[in-house]
Amino acid sequence: MLKKIFFFFQSDLLFTISFFLALVASSFGRFDVHFIDFQVILTLFGLMLTINGLEKAGLLNFIGQRLLSKSHSLRALIRTIVLLSFFSSMVLTNDVAILTLLPMYLLITKGIQEQKSVLLGAVYLIVAANLGSSLFPFGNPQNLFLFSFYNLPLTTFLQTTGMMVVLSLTLLVGSIQLLPASPLIIKKTTHLFEKKYTVLYLGLMALMILGIFHVVPFVLSASIVAFVVYFFQKELFRSVDYRLLVTFACFFVIIGNINEQDKLIEMIQPFFQKEQQAFLGSITLSQVISNVPAAILIAPFTTYKKAVLLGVNVGGGHIDCFVSEFDWLQIDQASSPSRTKKIPSQVLYGEYSLLIHNRFNRLSLFRDRLIGTSRQAAVPEYTGQLLAFKRLGAHNRSPSY
Is pLDDT larger for residue 262 or for residue 234?
234
Quick one: three-class SS letters along 305-351? Answer: HHHHHHHHHHCCCHHHHHHHHHHHHHHHHHHCCCCCCCCCHHHHHHH
Is pLDDT larger for residue 26 or for residue 4?
26
Render 151-220 in DSSP notation, one character per residue: T--HHHHHHHHHHHHHHHHHHHHHHHTTS---B-----------HHHHHHHHHHHHHHHHHHTTSS-HHH
The pLDDT, as a whole number, for residue 367 is 38
At residue 23 the predicted structure's pLDDT band, cuts being 50, 70 and 90, is very high
Q: Which of 59-68, 93-102, 118-127, 182-191 has the highest mean pLDDT?
A: 118-127
Is pLDDT larger for residue 213 or for residue 228?
228
The pLDDT, as a whole number, for residue 348 is 45
Nearest alpha carbon to residue 37 among 208, 250, 220:
250
Q: Return the C-alpha torsion angle 379, 168, 288, 322, nearest 10.
A: 50
Render 132-144 in DSSP notation, one character per residue: HHTSSTTSSHHHH
Q: pTM score, two decimals?
A: 0.66
Structure confidence by residue, pLDDT tens digits, 375-385: 333 333 333 33
- At 183, give phi and psi (nearest 5°): -60, 145
Residue 181 Cα to chain centre, angstroms: 30
Span of 138-142, 193-197, 372-376 with lowest mean pLDDT = 372-376
The Cα 91–Cα 94 span in angstroms is: 9
Cα angle for residues 275, 279, 285 (degrees, 5° grid): 140
pLDDT at 320 over 70: no
Structure confidence by residue, pLDDT tens digits, 142-190: 898 899 889 889 888 998 899 888 988 898 889 888 887 777 766 666 6
The pLDDT, as a whole number, for residue 373 is 38
Cα distances (Å, whole numbers) of residue 123 to 27, 143, 351, 358: 44, 22, 7, 8
Nearest alpha carbon to residue 47 among 205, 245, 246:
205
The pLDDT, as a whole number, for residue 189 is 61
The pLDDT, as a whole number, for residue 361 is 34
pLDDT at 370 over 70: no
Q: Which whole number is the average pLDDT over 215-242?
A: 92
At residue 207 the predicted structure's pLDDT band, cuts being 50, 70 and 90, is very high
Residue 250 Cα to chain centre, angstroms: 20
Q: Return the C-alpha torsion angle 125, 130, 133, 139, nearest 10.
A: 130
pLDDT at 350 over 60: no
